[in-house]
Structure formats: C-alpha cells, structure tokens
Structure 1
C-alpha cells in the first residue's frame, strides 16, 4: 500500500493542475470582462442621463420663455383694450352731458355720473394693473423694453387726457413686436429648431 501512495501519476496530476489553472484564469478573465462591460454600461447610462437632464433643462427654459411671451402678449392686449375703454367712457360721458342737462333731472344725472365714475375708475385700475404687470415682465435694462414702456405710458396719458389712444396703441404694438420676435428666436434656438 505504501508503494501505491508513493507512486504519483504525474500525467494525471499535471492534467488536474492545468485544469485548475485554466478554471482560475478563465474566472479571472471573465471577471475582468464583466467589470469592463459594467463600467461601459455605467458610462453609457451616465452619458444618457446627462443628455436627458440637459434636454429637460432646455425644454423647461423654452416652455418658460413661451409662457412669458404669451403672458406679455396677453397683458399688452389687455392694456390696449383698457386704454380704449377709458377713451370710450370719455366719449360716452361727453355725449350724455348735453342730454342729461336738458332732462332737468339732477337725481338721474347724478346717478349716471356715479355709474360713469365707477366704470371709469375700474377701467383706469385695470389699465394701471396691466401696465404694472407689463413692467414687471420686462427687463428695464434692455432698450426694446424701455421703448415699449415709453409707448405704453404715452398711450395711457393720451387715453386719460380724453384723446383717442388708437395711434399710441399702434405704437405699443410696434414696440412689442421686436421683443416677441427676439424671444421667439431664442425659444426656437433652444429647441434646436
């Protein structure tokens, strides 16, 4: 029995050692390849995530600009409507003044004047609110914004002085259009259009 234990089957042992070495080396190589694949997937995932984050940021800014454009456009339209209402109220008052004087009904005349004053005060308040909103939407350091505010102030003064603000309101629109065009170009550039 000792002779059996002393005799080593070198070819079998060598084959066993080579098999063990092959398994160990294959496992090491497989682990390295899996690590590289995992690192590559992480890199691709991070890159895609960064691109998606940047795209979302750009879309958010573009949507915010579009909302700003719409808000400014709506507020200027409201302002123009209110300055026209102020002028219309003056026309209404001057047309009724003679009729009310001829009616010889001071109570009715006072009631009509009170109604007119309420409507006039409301129209002025709405115009001033629109003017303030427009001013808050604009950048006071930009020349186009300054030009728009100057046109708005001129239209407001004209309406309150009992004159037709139509020409001044046209200048408001003309001053607004370059701002809208510039912002629309920014939105399109950010969207990649």
Structure 2
C-alpha cells in the first residue's frame, strides 16, 4: 500500500513538472510573438515617417515649379512689352534725317535684337531644363512612394499570415484538448461499468453521461478522415457490448486509435507554430 502511495505521489510530481514546463514554454512563445509585433510596429512607424518626409519634399518641389512658371510668365510679358515698344517706336516716331558721312555700323542696330533673342532663348532653355528635372524628380518620388507602400503592404500581409497561423494553432490545440477530455471521460464511464451489468440497470445520470460524451466525440471528429470514423465505430460498438451484456471490451482499441489521432493533430499544431 505504501508503494502505491509513493508511486501516486511521484506521478503527481512529474505531471506538475510537465504542466509547469508547458506553461513556461507557452509564456516564452508569447513573449517572442509580442517582441516580433513591437518590432513590426516600429518598422511600420518608420516607413510612415519616410512617406511623410517624401510628401513634404514633393510639396516643396511643386512650389518651386509654380514659382518657375511665374518667372517664365513675367519674362515672356517683359519680352513682349519690349518688342511691342520697339515696334511702336519704329512705326510712330518720324525718322530724323541724319546725314552720315561714314559707313553705317550695323552692329549698333543688331545689338538690341541679338540681346532680346539671346534672353528669350536662354529663358526657354532654362524653363525646359527645369521642366525635365521636375519631371524626373516627380517620377523618382512616385517610384519611391510605390516601393514604400509595397514594403508596408508586404509587412502587414506577413504579420497577418503569422497571426492567422497562430490563431489556427491555438484553436487546434483547444480542439485536441476537448477531444482528449471527452474520450477520457467516456472511457472512465465505460471502465466503471461492470461487464455483467446491463445498461438499463444504470441510473439516469450515468446513462446521460455516457451518451453525452459519445455524442460530443462524434461532433468533434472529422467524418472525412478514416481513423476518426473508426474511433466513432469503436465507441458505438463498445456501447452495444454494454447493452448486450458482452464481456468483450474495446477500451484498448479506442485508446490506440485516439493516440494516433492526437499525435497527428499535435504534429500539425507544431507545424503551424514553426511557420508562424
């Protein structure tokens, strides 16, 4: 009797250690996920700040282009006024007859015209250069904004995938726990029933408890997987054995199938956790 008590104490001690280890591992995983989420938030904030800076630069560039257009308009107006003034001076004022005894110096007459043409050509060339550079700057800015948006969207998508995988893994773990608990409860009820005891001799609470666990297991399994269907068949067969007073028990078969199902589902949960 003392050996049995010592064995039970050691078993409880090992179970407590396993539970504590599982909780510590889960806490470490949660801390790692929280740190990853914080790092992602910091990266997204940095990207948003870069986008704001680029928007400010784009606005300054637009203001400079607008000022250049204003200067171009003023220059064009000045040049037009100057040309109009010269034309008006030649058409309205009467020429003063001057007798020149020396050869005409055409350079004096061509100099203002050459100056005007030079100013207009320089202005047009400058405006064209500004326009080309402005277009290149705007294109580069748009490309940079597009890259930042793509990086941001990719980061958000990856974080969404990791979160979704984590949620799926947690849900599958809860499902595994529920299935294991229901199978354990069902086997406990079956084991507590004597093979020679007829099912109708059980009290209403025991009957209800037996059928309750049986139906819960049927609702938890996947009818498209063969071993899940085999598990339900074994459970129904075990109930029929109790009803028909058969001494044959299928507890070992039910445990074997359950272990295979739970191990496979646990491997799937670990795969999701590694992927996230």
Q: Using the TM superposition, give the Cα deviation of residue 37 of structure 1 relative to its aligned residue in structure 2, in angstroms.
A: 0.6
- After TM superposition, the score normalised by the length of structure 2 is 0.49
Equivalent residue number for residue 62 of structure 1: 169
Q: Using the TM superposition, give the Cα deviation of residue 57 of structure 1 relative to its aligned residue in structure 2, in angstroms.
A: 3.0
Equivalent residue number for residue 236 of structure 2: 153
Equivalent residue number for residue 189 of structure 2: 82
Q: Using the TM superposition, give the Cα deviation of residue 13 of structure 1 relative to its aligned residue in structure 2, in angstroms.
A: 5.3
Equivalent residue number for residue 127 of structure 2: 20
Q: Given the alignment, which residue of 171, 174, 185 partners 2:253? A: 171
Relative contact order, higher structure (CA 8 A, sep 6+): 1
Provide the rounded CA distance (Å) in 2 between the counterparts of 1:15 and 1:87: 110
Q: Given the alignment, which residue of 171, 180, 183 partners 2:262? A: 180
In structure 2, runs of 5+ residues without a counterpart are 1-84, 90-111
Provide the rounded CA distance (Å) in 2 between the counterparts of 1:14 and 1:87: 111
Q: Which runs of 4+ in 1 moved over 6 A?
A: 162-165
Provide the rounded CA distance (Å) in 1 between the counterparts of 2:240 and 2:205: 16
Return 178-187 or 12-21, whichever deviates more: 12-21
Residues 1:46 and 2:153 are matched in the alignment: yes
In structure 1, runs of 5+ residues without a counterpart are 91-116
Aligned pairs, number: 163
Residues 1:32 and 2:32 are matched in the alignment: no
Name which one, 1 or 2, has greater alpha-carbon Rg. 2
Q: Using the TM superposition, give the Cα deviation of residue 158 of structure 1 relative to its aligned residue in structure 2, in angstroms.
A: 4.2
- Tell me the alpha carbon deviations over residues 6-64 of structure 1, each in whole angstroms, 9 at most, x when there is no partner: 45266665554444333322211110000111111222223233323333333333222
Q: Using the TM superposition, give the Cα deviation of residue 121 of structure 1 relative to its aligned residue in structure 2, in angstroms.
A: 1.3
Residues 1:131 and 2:214 are matched in the alignment: yes
Provide the rounded CA distance (Å) in 1 between the counterparts of 2:188 and 2:203: 13
Provide the rounded CA distance (Å) in 2 between the counterparts of 1:176 and 1:23: 77
Q: Using the TM superposition, give the Cα deviation of residue 128 of structure 1 relative to its aligned residue in structure 2, in angstroms.
A: 0.3
C-alpha RMSD over aligned residues: 3.2
Q: Using the TM superposition, give the Cα deviation of residue 138 of structure 1 relative to its aligned residue in structure 2, in angstroms.
A: 1.4
Q: Given the alignment, which residue of 187, 190, 193 partners 2:272? A: 190
